[in-house]
Structure 1
Amino acid sequence: MTSPRTAGTAPRNALTRARVLESAVALADREGLGALTMRSLARELGIEAMSLYHHVANKEDLLDGVVDVVAAEIQDAVGGLAALPDEAPGSAWKPAMRRQILTARAVLLRHPWASTVLETRTSFSLHIVRYYESLLGLMRRGGFSYDLIHHAMHALGSRALGFSQELFEPDGAAAGSAAGGSATAGADDAATAMLVQMADQVPHMVEMLAEVGHEDAGSALGWCDGQSEFEFGLDLILDGLDRLAEREQH
């Protein structure tokens, strides 16, 4: 007689790589990237840890997989945003590209750990390659030479995918800020206190912070609005690229 399956444990034939990766993303979203281990993921799925190795070779394969899941979500979100009508003016590339990048950012804000993993990958997800291809297509439609596109991608860096490394960001601040929570409060206070103590050594820094500081609980160090600063930097780059593209065409 077959023993009844333990409650909460999925039969082996119901476990797929897709299900493993979806559960891994959900676990990282809920508890953070540090909580994503093979053992904790096995518990999440209600299986023995060794069973995971039928679907992911190791931790690096798991991280490649969760990046692919998030990248696919970005691709689904941007959808046809990169498509420009044939009659669109050359300048139409800029608002379309801005919209696409900010859409990608909205996805990453739902998965605040994902940018950290993206920065450590040694190979690109096919979804990421296709995403970049759509950005290149927009710039070509805008009259960019491939040489200028190459410079543009270097200038944009990770910002093209919707995230950037902040100048001042204590450990743990990025995830807390991206999630819109108050997890960074302790780090904010400590960093502010340190700068106040160094006021005689960094007077411009202290004066700048006194002038622009505000009480946004979700901002990096409490000094700036992460979304506004991201858009400011993005617009600065896109405006500069627009001028260079116009110069190339004349």
Structure 2
Amino acid sequence: MITRISRTTLLMAAVVLLTGCTGTAGAPAGLGSGHAPAATTLSAARPAPAPDTSAATAPQQIPGLGPKTLARLPPGTRQAVVVTGRGRNSPLSTVVLYQRTDAGWQAGARWPAHNALKGWTDHHLAGDLRSPTGIYGLSDAGGRLRDPGTKLPYDRSSGFTASGTGFEGEPLTGAFDYVIAIDYNRRTGTSPLDWTRPLGVSRGGGIWLHVDHGGPTHGCVSLAAAHMRELLRTLDPARRPVVVMGDAPWLAR
């Protein structure tokens, strides 16, 4: 026996089939938000829109980092500033901020940067003119200029005044307008200006992310002022940010 189905019942069934339970993944904090899809008008001649699968393209691991390096990422880390040196003895590098989402690691823009004059070392010493390889926390910030809107503790001080010239004769003025302390041989929870050295003075210290002055550094990593402001506004202590830094072969271990 065939039961007659009302026109209203058929329309309700079509609504369930077309809407489903799809959603749009949000963008990483600080880099913009996702937008909900517009409402769909039901039509017998128009199929339901395909779900947004852009988040599914995010890699589960950070490109360029080998298993040994990935294994050293602290549990719960959801922000990683990856500094990839052009060569073991090169002062040129590239910086990318990766943010962890439920779909995987989302990459931000690629920014040119400088590192130390003589490149990289696995055992940094004061005055060796090499940047230390490794994975370090990013817990404190500061600078000569006012806080641009960071969630990190920020120490504005005239102590962040740079003077003189760099290795290529470039002026250092403004290099410390914005600073993020790299937690190498320092006491966390203090201003980047704090000179406590847990590993001893001979192991160096004062390794920062700071404003690029157009040439190599003594051991820090330097970025354009606009990129430093963006980084400061995006880093969030609740996401346990770290910097992963070294030449490409070291990172790929």
Please tell me the TM-score bracket, short chain as reference. under 0.3
Q: Which structure shows the bigger proportion of residues in helix conformation?
A: 1
Could you tell me the TM-score, scaled by structure 2's length?
Answer: 0.25
* Higher CA-based Rg: 2
Q: Which structure shows the bigger proportion of residues in strand conformation?
A: 2
Q: Relative contact order, CA 8 A, sep 6+: which one is greater?
A: 2
